[in-house]
Amino acid sequence: MANILVSIEHTAGKIKSPSLELLTAAKKSGMTVIGVSLGAGSKTAAAEAGKYGATKVYAFEDAALDNYNSELYFNAYKQVIDEAKPEVVLGTGSSSQKDLLPKLAATFSSGVVADATELSIANGKVTTKKPMYSGKCLATAEFVNSPIQFVSMRPNQLSVDAPADGSAEVIEKSVSGTDMRIAIKEIVKGASKRLDLTEANIIVSGGRGLKEAANFKLLEDLADVLGASVGASRAVVDAGWVPHSMQVGQTGKTVAPSLYIAAGISGAIQHLAGMSTSKVIVAINTDPEAPIFQKATYGIVGDATQVLPLLTEEFKKMLS
């Protein structure tokens, strides 16, 4: 039976949900599911993967691999692919996987589809759907002449099966680099302790209608109550209120959470491109004609600086 290789990303041994999505999809494919996990806790994650259908997992239990290094990760994955000979490789949408998969695809004379939102695998043949022009339209992406089919999936798109009985054979591996041309000197943690926008299930986002940078505190408070991440329009990023890592849109992050709350955002085409595939959109804007209302599920015409604190109180009551 043909093999499908799944990247198992984990936090100290606990498998992250985007990788559980991939494992579930891999199991459904009917192919033999093989995993690869890197960094401290890899063996724990590898064993856990057995409950989600993996039969064999390559574990690189090495703290030197806790953080992404493009050369070391490449060497590790190449080793695994050479040995396991998968026909499909599934990666998550994390920054490291998005960096790694194309390089592997080039090495293995293969193609890569990044940021897929739908995935189906029949008789070992992968078909994906992916947003084009940041979601202004969609298209089907399929492989031809590609010995290995590499796909990185956007998070929160696929279902996760409950863990079942099952165990994976854990194969311990190690990797080293010779003649390395890249070294990670330092990692500066972002100020935000929240999930990255691309992984968040709820996003509260603010624009110029919030009037001043200090009013982003209102969004932070709401995000605390909802366990949400905070986004922004480009106008306020350019104004220096918040960093670019918070920008949603065609030249920022493309997001598709189950709930997107846009406060004081007009809904310019470039902003809509990045968020209009969100499941439910709430717009709060003083202008009833603002284009954001055309994409919204629920609309409130009102002053965001007044509505946001009320919402925070309301959700606090409701969720407590």
Footprint of ligand FAD on 229-248 (CB under 6 A): 233-236, 247-248
Q: Which of 67, 167, 176, 286 binds another protein (CB under 8 A)?
A: 67
Q: What are phi and psi of 119, to 5 degrees?
A: -145, 130
**Choices 24-32, 38-46, 212-220, 252-260; region in contact with another protein by CB under 8 A:** 252-260
Query: Taking CB within 5 to 8 Å according to partner kind, which of ligand FAD, another protein, none is near residue 216?
Result: none
Instruction: For ligand FAD, give the closer residue by CB, 287 or 314.
Output: 287
Residues 266-285 that bind ligand FAD (CB under 6 A): 266, 268, 270-271, 274, 284-285
Which residues within the stretch 124-143 sit at the binding site for another protein (CB under 8 A)? 131-143
**Which of ligand FAD, another protein, none sits in contact with 89, Cβ below 5 to 8 A by type?**
none
* CA dihedral (114, 228, 137, 237) positive or negative: negative
Residue 74 in 3-state DSSP?
helix
Cβ 212 to ligand FAD shortest distance, Å: 11
Residues between 2 and 61 with contacts to another protein, criterion CB under 8 A: none
**Residue 227 Cβ vs ligand FAD, minimum distance, rounded to whole Å:** 23
Q: Which of 18, 155, 209, 299 binds ligand FAD (CB under 6 A)?
A: 209
**Which among 48, 46, 102 has a CA at the least distance from the CA of 70?**
102
Radius of gyration of the chain (CA): 21
- Distance from chain centroid for Cα 149: 19
What is the rounded CA–CA span in Å between residue 292 and residue 161? 35
Contact 304, 283 (CB under 8 A): no
Q: Residue 212: name its binding partner from another protein, ligand FAD, none (Cβ under 5 to 8 Å by kind).
A: none
Q: What is the DSSP letter of 33?
A: E
91 contact choice in ligand FAD, another protein, none (CB below 5 to 8 Å, kind-dependent)? none
- Give the integer Cα–Cα distance in Å for 5 and 87: 8
- For the bound state, the minimum distance from the C-beta of residue 195 to another protein, rounded and expressed in Å, comes to 7
Here the tokens at position 191 are 């100020």
Residue from the set 83, 85, 243, 287 that interacts with another protein by CB under 8 A: 243
235 binds, among ligand FAD, another protein, none (CB under 5 to 8 A by kind): ligand FAD
Q: Is the dihedral angle over the CA atoms 77, 78, 79, 84 positive or is it negative?
A: positive
Would you tell me how many other CB atoms lie within 10 Å of the CB of residue 75?
17
Asked if residue 91 binds ligand FAD (CB under 6 A), the reply is no
Between 124 and 302, CB nearer to another protein = 302
Instruction: Report how far apart the first and last C-alpha atoms of the chain are (Å, whole number).
Output: 50
For another protein, the binding residues in 185-224 under the rule CB under 8 A are 185-196, 198-199, 202
From CA 34, how far away is CA 90, in angstroms rounded? 10
DSSP notation for 256-288 = --SEEEEES----HHHHHHHTT-SEEEEEES-T
- Which residue from 122, 123, 145, 159 is in contact with another protein, where contact means CB under 8 A? 145
Judged by beta carbon distances under 5 to 8 A according to partner kind, the member of another protein, ligand FAD, none in contact with residue 285 is: ligand FAD
Q: Are 316 and 222 a contacting pair, CB within 8 Å?
A: no
Cα 20 from chain centroid (whole Å): 12
Site residues (CB under 8 A) for another protein, limited to 267-296: 269-270, 273, 276-277, 279-283, 288, 293-296
Q: What is the pairing mode between strands 125-132 and 118-122?
A: antiparallel
Q: Which residues bind ligand FAD (CB under 6 A)?
A: 207-209, 211, 233-236, 247-252, 264-266, 268, 270-271, 274, 284-287, 290, 303-305
